[in-house]
Amino acid sequence: MSLKELLLTRYFTLRNLFVGGNVVLVLLLAAAVVKDHRREWKGVQKEFYAREIKRLKEEKKASPDAAHVDKHLALLRGQGIKLRQLMVTALDRYDRCITCHLGYDTVLSPTQETVYDDPPFKARPSDIHRSHPADKFGCTVCHEGQGLATTARAAHGPVKHWEDPMRKGAVLEASCAKCHSNLWDEKAMPFTVNWRKGEALFQKSGCIGCHQIHGQGGPISVDLAEETADKPLSRIDFSFTGLSHEERTLENWIRLHFVRDPWTLVPGDPEGKHNDEPVPPSGMPFFNLSAEDADALTTYVLALGSDRIPAEFLAPAAPRPAPAYRNAVERGRAVYVKYGCGGCHAPDGTGGVRNFNYVNNTTPNLTKVVGTYTRPELQEKIEKGVSPVDKKDPRGPTPSLYMPSWKEKIKGPEMDDLLTYLFSIAEKDEDW
Partner 1 sequence: MTEPHDEPKETTPLLNPELTRRGLLAGAWAAFGAFVAGSLGASARFMLPNVLYEPSQRFKMGKAADLPLGVTINKKERVWVVRDEKGVYALWSRCTHLGCTPNWFPAESRFRCPCHGSNFNVDGDVVAGPAPKPLWRCAVDVTPDGDLVIDKSQMENRPGFRDKGSFHVTV
Partner 2 sequence: MPSLQEAKDKLINSQIWRSMFRGGTWKDTSRDRAQHILGNVWLHLHPARIRQRAVRFTYTWGLGGLSFGLFMILTVTGLLLMFYYRPSVELAYRDIKDLEFAVSLGMFLRNLHRWSAHTMVLLVILHMVRVFLTGAYKTPREFNWGIGVVLLVVTLFLSFTGYLLPWDQLALWAVTVGTNMASATPFAGAEGPFSNLLGITNANDARFALLGGTSVGANTLIRFYVLHCVAVPVVAGALMIVHFWRIRKDGFSAAPLPGDAPEKKMEVWPNLVVREYIGAVLMLVFLIAWSVLQNAPLEELANAGVTPNPSKAPWYFLGLQELLVYFDPWLAGVVLPGVIMMGLMAIPYVDPDAKRGVGYYSVKERPFANTVFLFGVGLWFVLIFIGTVLRGPNWSWYWPWESWEIHKSLPPPSWSLVLVDLTDKAGVFFSSQKTPGLRIPGFLGIGAALAAAGGMIGAYFGAGLALPKLIHKEIPFRRALWVTAVASLFVGVAAKVAHVFLRHHDFIGKNISQFGPTEIAYVAVVLFIVVLMGFLLPQKFLRTSPQSPVQYVTTMLLLLMMLGVILKMGARMGFNIKYILSLPAINLNL
Residues of this chain that interact with partner 2 (CB under 8 A) are: 14, 17-18, 21-22, 24-25, 28-29, 31-33, 35-37, 83, 92, 94, 96, 148-151, 154, 161-163, 232-235, 237-239, 274-275
For partner 2, give the closer residue by CB, 87 or 115: 87
Q: How far is the CB of 139 from partner 2 (least distance, A)?
A: 15
Q: How many residues bind partner 1 (CB under 8 A)?
A: 26
Which range, of 58-66, 264-272, 326-334, 358-366, touches partner 1 by CB under 8 A? 264-272
Determine the distance from the C-alpha atom of residue 180 to the mean position of all C-alpha atoms in its chain, rounded to a whole number: 16
Give the Cα separation of 309 and 302 in Å (integer). 16
Decide: 287 and 261 in contact? Cβ < 8 Å. Answer: no
Closer by beta carbon to partner 2, 238 or else 373: 238
- What is the smallest separation between the CB atom of 22 and partner 2, expressed in angstroms? 6
Q: Could you say which of partner 2, partner 1, none residue 25 binds, taking C-beta under 5 to 8 angstroms by partner kind?
A: partner 2
Rule CB under 8 A: say whether 220 interacts with partner 1. yes
CA dist 369 and 380 (Å) reads: 14
How crowded is residue 325: how many other Cβ atoms within 10 Å of its Cβ? 13
CB 1 within 8 A of CB 11: no
H-run or E-run covering 88: strand 86-88
**87, interface contact from partner 1, partner 2, none, CB < 5-8 Å by kind:** none
CA 115 to chain centre: 31
Choice between 339 and 421, CB closer to partner 1: 339
Residue 270 CA to residue 358 CA, distance in Å, equals 12
Nearest distance from C-beta of residue 277 to partner 1, angstroms: 4
Name the amino acid, one letter, at 427: E
Phi, psi torsion values for 429, nearest 5 degrees:
-75, 120
Minimum gap (Å) between residue 36 Cβ and partner 1 = 38
CB of 25 to partner 2, least distance (A): 6
Residue 88: phi and psi, rounded to 5, are -115, 85
**Contact set for partner 1, span 159-218 (CB under 8 A):** 215
Selected binder of partner 1 within 50, 81, 87, 222 (CB under 8 A) = 222
Q: Where are the alpha helices (DSSP H) in 279-411?
A: 291-302, 328-338, 342-345, 366-369, 375-384
Among 275, 290, 306, 327, binds partner 1 (CB under 8 A): 275
Least distance CB 249 / partner 1 (angstroms): 17
Residue of 120, 280, 305, 399 that binds partner 1 (CB under 8 A): 280
Binding test (CB under 8 A) with partner 1, winner from 279, 294, 422, 426: 279
CB of 329 to partner 2, least distance (A): 46
Give least dist CB 227 to partner 1, A. Answer: 6
Q: What's the CA gap between 426 and 234, in Å, rounded? A: 47
Nearer to partner 2, 31 or 291 (CB): 31
Task: Report d(CA 364, CA 346) in Å as an integer.
Answer: 10
Phi, psi of 37 (to 5 degrees): -75, -35
Cβ within 8 Å of residue 83, ≥6 positions away: 41, 96, 99, 150
Alpha helices (H) in 183-326, listed in sequence order: 193-205, 250-259, 262-265, 291-302
Gap between the Cα atoms of 258 and 251, Å rounded: 12
Q: Which residues bind partner 1 (CB under 8 A)?
A: 215, 219-223, 227, 235-237, 266, 268-269, 272, 275-281, 283, 387-388, 398, 400
